Structure 1
């Protein structure tokens, strides 16, 4: 009896994690280079100018912004008649934030939320659609501030929009097709909530609250370092950094967010480099600190990992 060798199954190697790891390392190296170029002593001096009460106040505001994120997803799910409570969504969002900040290579925040929603007997398709809608509404909120960021670039004497646009002109047709596909996906993801606009309005109001808390935190830190900016300029430059950080070249935007914040606020906001470096590092610390309450729900994370669904976003 002849034995035939088993058929070989071809598996395509996933380069994305390696690419993101390389992007993260490069971003962190650039950030360290900026700090060394400016001087560790000046950065440390800028940190020391921030009084402890101001830091604690910004941490409290950042926690409030996370509650707004909880409210945004909760409103979306409840408007879709999902049988969830605010307490359940609060726990899921915070354990997801904790997973994103402390376990980036094993499980992501959206995976936690998706798995948790399915465990709460929310339809898997609705759970995934609500997470996509949650992200899109967050992006829509930041797009409101984008014109203010572009205006800051135009008002800078060393930068102009013409050079910025020139780099994109050769790719106009390709980007037009990508935008068209993206908009069609947006409409498909928001299909249910377009029929129930009150859910979208409530979720958008929650994301505006989240953004306001973030911008107030930035404003307080800059004032403490004697480098105040007006609210609209803070929001506009932050929105530019937000969209840069969305590029899938770094794990959780680590390094990329800090470099983009430092560059944008220094180049187009006129903030001294040592202060922008301090701002970026302090905001990362605040993000991490605001996710620490998720540690209280670690048993939930263990259960989610044991029962992780196969669906991916």
Structure 2
């Protein structure tokens, strides 16, 4: 009885911590929004939004949907490198569901967890599913930081934007961190050293999971073609999301140079990985004026872009919600049947 009581206490404590963490993130989002509305010139924001041509949001939404589909293609390529045979429509379904849950879970991390969970149920290969999501994210971040670094260098050298030197340095450092971290993950020597920690008695039960995860990483050690292809697909995904922001800016009257979007959009995506808010709400609205303010873009204009970008994300991710609901409605079936049904 005492053991059952102890387990119940642990579950309750874990649930409480989870609820507190979620509540804190909601407070961060609401607090940032309230602060920004207090600091922002709301009359100017209203004027910008009132004069907008919202027809531009249609191509913006279509471009964002294309970017989500492209993300699924990148994941599909990486899964093939692991010899995980999953139909593309299933990968597409999990990708859309992940984007949907990004709106309600911490930043982009929550969506990654949801699509990894779905794939693990489908394939019954938990370690491989988790590693595929991690590698997918790493390759994407590497491509994003390359784009930011190169674009910033172009602006500095040819547009004499010396104020972007700090941004250039940050992008290069972030790229080094991402590539260095990935190299460490692929190193058998480093993983072998880390594996010794699982000889410690409290960690022994986790040892099989660690070794399966380590073996899953080996699939990418010499998958140069797949990694290069995934990197190129990531760049094309970034172009699509950059053009999404460009059309949103055009809806507000334009005047925002495309080169600045190529610099700041990938950096903003990198910052949003920090899980301090729900779906990036509040943080997105704070960092758009900050970064674009570095090149003289009015805060009200950048803030308005962030609001419309959030709207585009909410609207386009509804498809993921529909796919998730269809899967939930068929909960009596296996996960495989649910996903196959969503692809018809």
Q: Structure 1-normalised TM-score? A: 0.77
Question: How far apart are the structure 1 equivalents of 2:238 and 2:247?
Answer: 14
- Per the alignment, residue 278 of structure 1 pairs with 304
**Counterpart pick for 1:291 among 294, 312, 317:** 317
- Per the alignment, residue 185 of structure 2 pairs with 185
Structure 1 residues 48-85: Cα deviation after superposition (integer angstroms, max 9, x where no partner):
33312201110111111111111111111123221211
Q: CA deviation at 1:23?
A: 4.5
Q: 1:206 to 1:305 in 2, by over 3 A?
A: farther
- Per the alignment, residue 134 of structure 2 pairs with 132
- Answer 1 or 2: which has greater helix percent: 2
**Residues 149, 240 of structure 1: 8 Å contact kept:** no
**Residues 241, 260 of structure 1: 8 Å contact kept:** yes
- Per the alignment, residue 37 of structure 2 pairs with 35
**Matched residue SS, 1:118:** helix
Matched, 1:269 2:271: no
Question: How far apart are the structure 1 equivalents of 2:245 and 2:68?
Answer: 15
Please list, as runs of the form range in 1=range in 2, the aligned pairs for 1:188-207 lying within 5 A after superposition: 190-207=217-234
Please list, as runs of the form range in 1=range in 2, the aligned pairs for 1:50-129 lying within 5 A after superposition: 50-102=52-104, 108-121=110-123, 123-129=125-131
**Residues 76, 130 of structure 1: 8 Å contact kept:** yes
Q: Structure 2-normalised TM-score? A: 0.71
Please list, as runs of the form range in 1=range in 2, the aligned pairs for 1:202-281 lying within 5 A after superposition: 202-265=229-292, 267-281=293-307
**Residues 19, 249 of structure 1: 8 Å contact kept:** no
Structure 1 residues 101-151: Cα deviation after superposition (integer angstroms, max 9, x where no partner):
24669x943333223223332522211111111111111111113325766
Question: How far apart are the structure 2 equivalents of 1:288 and 1:277?
Answer: 17
**Matched residue SS, 1:113:** helix
Q: Please report the RMSD computed on the Cα atoms of aligned residues, expressed in angstroms.
A: 3.7
**Residues 35, 43 of structure 1: 8 Å contact kept:** no
Q: Aligned pairs, how many?
A: 292
Q: Give the unaligned 5+ runs of structure 2.
A: 188-213, 336-344
Higher mean C-alpha deviation, range 32-41 or range 88-97: 32-41
Runs of 4+ displaced beyond 4 Å: 4-17, 102-105, 148-154, 159-162, 176-183, 186-190, 301-308
Q: 1:27 to 1:183 in 2, by over 3 A?
A: farther
Question: How far apart are the structure 2 equivalents of 1:177 and 1:58?
Answer: 31
- Per the alignment, residue 141 of structure 1 pairs with 143
**Counterpart pick for 1:300 among 301, 311, 327:** 327
**Residues 138, 178 of structure 2: 8 Å contact kept:** no
Structure 1 residues 208-253: Cα deviation after superposition (integer angstroms, max 9, x where no partner):
1211011111122223334533333212112222222222322332
Question: How far apart are the structure 1 equivalents of 2:59 and 2:68?
Answer: 14
Question: How far apart are the structure 1 equivalents of 2:105 and 2:264?
Answer: 29
Question: How far apart are the structure 2 equivalents of 1:182 and 1:250?
Answer: 26
Higher mean C-alpha deviation, range 77-86 or range 130-139: 77-86
Q: Give the unaligned 5+ runs of structure 1.
A: 169-175, 309-313
Question: How far apart are the structure 1 equivalents of 2:295 and 2:333?
Answer: 47
Q: CA deviation at 1:304?
A: 7.2
